[in-house]
């Protein structure tokens, strides 16, 4: 998918990229969006200028206009999960990257999110994950929100889901997490409760960061 291709490009690319060419491209006003300069993004992220060049080239190839809308994002994502329905999960992932809530992801938003996921501290990664699960952005995760994300992941994996999806599996999954996270039985999980619970339980940490494996 768009994310996976760019991650692999960072890890495996051996093809030289002309710095002057990329800088010239970044200075051009594109159809929908003019990205910030590489130096500014280098200061704001955990990527080197070289890595940002690779990311920009991949992003531009997929999204020549300089931005990606939700339908395009879903289409790209769905190609890598042909045995399931990735549309719902892609919707939530798109919203997590769309930090300005304007219905499109700019290159800056993309690399800022990717920087957190790949190079951020554990707390930064957990904060990003919390934001993904906090669908209505009210600062809490309730059972319905967590169930939505868990079910979306099961739907996306399709027949390769393990254990095989049954009607009550997402609910059981969520109930187990809430029992550990919602210590005061308030019916919602705060950011700090989420972080503490994940840090104290390695299995929960892996489960909560499952999205990293389906990028």
- HSE-up of residue 154 (Cα within 13 Å, Cβ side): 18
Residue 119 has pLDDT above 70, yes or no: yes
Residue 212: its pLDDT value, please?
56
CATH number of 122-214: 1.10.238.10
Lowest-pLDDT choice from 24-28, 101-105, 178-182: 24-28
Residue 160: its pLDDT value, please?
58
Q: pLDDT by residue (tens digit) across 58-80?
A: 898 888 888 999 999 999 888 88
The domain 37-120 having CATH identifier 3.40.50.300: the answer here is: no
In angstroms, the CA 38 to CA 28 distance is 13
Q: pTM for the whole thing? A: 0.78
Instruction: For residue 187, name the pLDDT band (cuts at 50, 70, 90).
Output: very high
In angstroms, the CA 95 to CA 70 distance is 8
Query: For the chain, how big is the Rg over CA atoms in Å?
Result: 18
Backbone angles phi, psi at 67, to 5 degrees: -140, 160
DSSP code for 184: T
Backbone angles phi, psi at 54, to 5 degrees: -65, -45
Q: pLDDT by residue (tens digit) across 130-169?
A: 999 999 999 999 999 999 998 898 888 776 555 555 567 7
What are the residue ranges of CATH 1.10.238.10 in the chain? 37-120, 122-214
Q: pLDDT by residue (tens digit) across 35-64?
A: 568 889 999 999 999 999 999 998 988 888
Instruction: For residue 2, name the pLDDT band (cuts at 50, 70, 90).
Output: low
Lowest-pLDDT choice from 7-16, 152-161, 175-184: 7-16
Count of positions (residues) in the chain: 215
Lowest-pLDDT choice from 74-83, 87-96, 156-165, 183-192: 156-165
Instruction: For residue 31, name the pLDDT band (cuts at 50, 70, 90).
Output: very low
């Amino acid at each position: 998918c768009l994310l996976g291709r760019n991650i692999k490009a960072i890890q495996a690319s051996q093809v030289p990229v002309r710095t002057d060419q990329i800088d010239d491209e970044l200075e051009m006003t594109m159809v929908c969006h003019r990205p910030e300069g590489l130096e500014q993004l280098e200061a704001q992220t955990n990527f080197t200028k070289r890595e940002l060049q690779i990311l920009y080239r991949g992003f531009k190839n997929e999204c020549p206009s300089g931005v990606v809308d939700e339908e395009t994002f879903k289409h790209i994502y769905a190609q890598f999960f042909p045995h399931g329905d990735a549309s719902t999960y892609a919707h939530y992932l798109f919203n997590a990257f769309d930090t300005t809530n304007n219905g499109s992801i700019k290159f800056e938003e993309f690399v800022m999110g990717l920087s957190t996921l790949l190079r951020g501290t554990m707390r930064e990664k957990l904060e990003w994950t919390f934001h993904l699960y906090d669908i209505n952005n009210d600062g809490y995760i309730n059972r319905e929100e967590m169930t939505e994300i868990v079910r979306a992941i099961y739907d996306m994996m399709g027949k390769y889901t393990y254990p095989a999806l049954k009607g009550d599996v997402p609910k059981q999954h969520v109930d187990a997490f809430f029992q550990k996270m919602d210590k005061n039985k308030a019916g919602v999980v705060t950011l700090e409760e989420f972080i503490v619970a994940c840090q104290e339980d390695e299995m929960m940490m892996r489960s909560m960061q499952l999205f990293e494996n389906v990028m």
